[in-house]
Amino acid sequence: MRTHVDLPVSLSRDSAEPLTAQLAGWLRRAMLDGTLASGERLPSTRALAAQLAVSRTVVTEAYQQLYAEGWLDGRHGSGTFVADMEQAPRPPERGAYVPAPPPPPADVINLTPGDPWVRDYDAAAWKRAWRRAAELPPGDSPDPYGLPRLRELLADHLRRARGMAVGPENILVTRGTGNGLDLCALALLAPGARAGVEDPGYRVARTVFAARGAEVVPCPVDEDGVIVDGLPGDLRVLYTTPAHQYPLGGRLPIPRRERLLAWARATDATVVEDDYDAEFRYDVAPLPALYGLDPSRVVLLGTLSKILAPDVGVGWLVGEPGLLARIAGLREAVGDRTSGPVQQAVATLLERGDLDRHLRRMRLEYARRRAAVVELLGPVCRLRGDTAGLHVLAELPADMVPAVVERAAARGVLLDSTRRHHHGEPRLHGLVIGYGSASLTDVRRGCRILAGLIREAR
């Protein structure tokens, strides 16, 4: 391990970007390109502030942001260090993350979106959580809101991860996004009511609303997210993904968020906000959740499927207490519930800080993979949505997409296109590249193959 290193940082006071964001961005790039190696000791906040001629607060806040994202480690009495970025496997220690056997077939690289990386996990924390759940007796009357203890812990998680000031009275524990959508449809949509869904957008939302008897209305999106101007005035519900639009990757700007909420108030509509991967951001500050801007008009859905694993089957629905009481009543009437032992295990992961540590670790892992995608595909096509989440959109001409997908599959690289995410005739064309479920090595290898195919097709 190297010791202290002098950082050749240059900050511009003429830039519109805050000094803290400039410094955090420079340090991220330095860690990704190897200028700062794993285990490298950074200067103290006082020393770096003096070197850069800035206030100590600038450096402290930049370090805190990088701690939260998993880039830095703090060692009591020793200083601040670059987190471990080594890819080679090491002998597992007590409580260490251990790789599970890779799923077959090993020669296929899956770059389709939707799944996170589940092969590295804290085995000791996982076992401890389930031992704790097994020690508790089975329940005979499940709470339709979810376990009170878990709701309190989720409220604290949302405060820390999303800056949302909510209490347990605002939270109902679900089995995931699909279950949360179905509960919203049950409570908010009468048969024949019109429900808006982003186009292109999440197909499960269309399926759930249609299954509840609603008329699904496609609502166009652009590179920033849902287009507010022109939204129908008779929608009862609008489903949207403002933190990282699926699948185009846009982040809905604040002015458009405010116009969307004004539309909802004027039309008495409810906005269902899917916050499915908002915990993962790269080089950008978080934007406030729609729910935090107007809780009276928004229901927020969250899930552990991207943070931890889809197989866990736990999510949350955030809303005003009156609406949650109605949803809880309907939930009891139809016999819908979230597994008690699973809730107990998740509560233990949250209570001990294990989930937070896993989230910080995965932020770092996904940042590496996202950087590889940008490095290899950026020179051959326009990328959208690379500042957040676990996927990017690679724009390509419509006539090129099918051939590239077919040739990539022949080379062992599985790809997804925008076509299947449209409700009607596709208006935007390209590949939806998911980098969550493939290793960094496979992401690099798959993107090199894809870049070569795009060059050939052009």
Residue 115's CATH number: 3.90.1150.10
Collect all residues with Cβ–Cβ distance below 8 Å to 95 and sequence separation of at least 6.
122, 123, 124, 125
d(CA 397, CA 413): 20
Examine the pLDDT at 88 and tell me if it is beyond 80: no
Q: Does residue 12 lie in a domain region?
A: no
pLDDT digits (tens, 9 = 90+) for 187-214: 999 999 999 999 999 999 999 999 999 9
**Domain at 206, CATH number:** 3.40.640.10
Q: Are residue 445 and residue 407 in the same domain, yes or no?
A: yes
Reported confidence tier of residue 117, pLDDT bands at 50, 70, 90 = very high
Q: What residues are paired with 287 via a beta bridge?
A: none
Examine the pLDDT at 125 and tell me if it is beyond 90: yes
Phi-psi region of 389 (alpha: psi -120 to 50; beta: other; left: phi over 0): left
Q: Does residue 63 lie in a domain region?
A: yes
Number of domains comprising the chain? 3
Q: Are residue 187 and residue 158 in the same domain, yes or no?
A: yes
**Boundary-marking domain end, from 323, 352, 381:** 352
**Domain at 71, CATH number:** 1.10.10.10
Q: Are residue 202 and residue 332 in the same domain, yes or no?
A: yes
By three-state DSSP, how is residue 338 classified?
coil
d(CA 255, CA 294): 14
Q: Does residue 95 lie in a domain region?
A: no
Q: Cα separations (Å) of 40 from 22, 35, 73, 81, 125?
A: 20, 10, 10, 5, 27
Q: Are residue 257 and residue 159 in the same domain, yes or no?
A: yes
Q: Does residue 150 lie in a domain region?
A: yes
Q: What is the pLDDT of residue 95?
A: 40
Q: Are residue 373 and residue 441 in the same domain, yes or no?
A: yes
Q: Does residue 3 lie in a domain region?
A: no
Q: Are residue 279 and residue 306 in the same domain, yes or no?
A: yes
By three-state DSSP, how is residue 290 classified?
helix
**Boundary-marking domain end, from 317, 352, 387:** 352
* Low-confidence winner among 53-62, 321-330, 407-416 (lowest mean pLDDT): 53-62
Tokens of 253: 């700007």
Q: What is the pLDDT of residue 102?
A: 42
Torsion of CA 58, 59, 60, 61, to 10 degrees: 50
| Domain extent for 436 | 102-120+356-457
Q: Does residue 285 lie in a domain region?
A: yes
* Low-confidence winner among 35-44, 98-107, 363-372, 415-424 (lowest mean pLDDT): 98-107
Q: Are residue 382 and residue 442 in the same domain, yes or no?
A: yes
Q: Are residue 371 and residue 277 in the same domain, yes or no?
A: no
Q: Does residue 396 lie in a domain region?
A: yes
Q: Are residue 199 and residue 106 in the same domain, yes or no?
A: no
Q: Are residue 165 and residue 226 in the same domain, yes or no?
A: yes
Q: What integer is the mean pLDDT of 310-326?
A: 96
Neighbours of 12 (CB within 10 A): 9
pTM value is 0.78
Q: Does residue 89 lie in a domain region?
A: no
Q: Are residue 384 and residue 241 in the same domain, yes or no?
A: no
Q: Are residue 205 and residue 153 in the same domain, yes or no?
A: yes
**Boundary-marking domain end, from 352, 374, 401:** 352
Question: Kind and range of the H or E element at 121?
Answer: strand 120-122
Phi-psi region of 353 (alpha: psi -120 to 50; beta: other; left: phi over 0): left
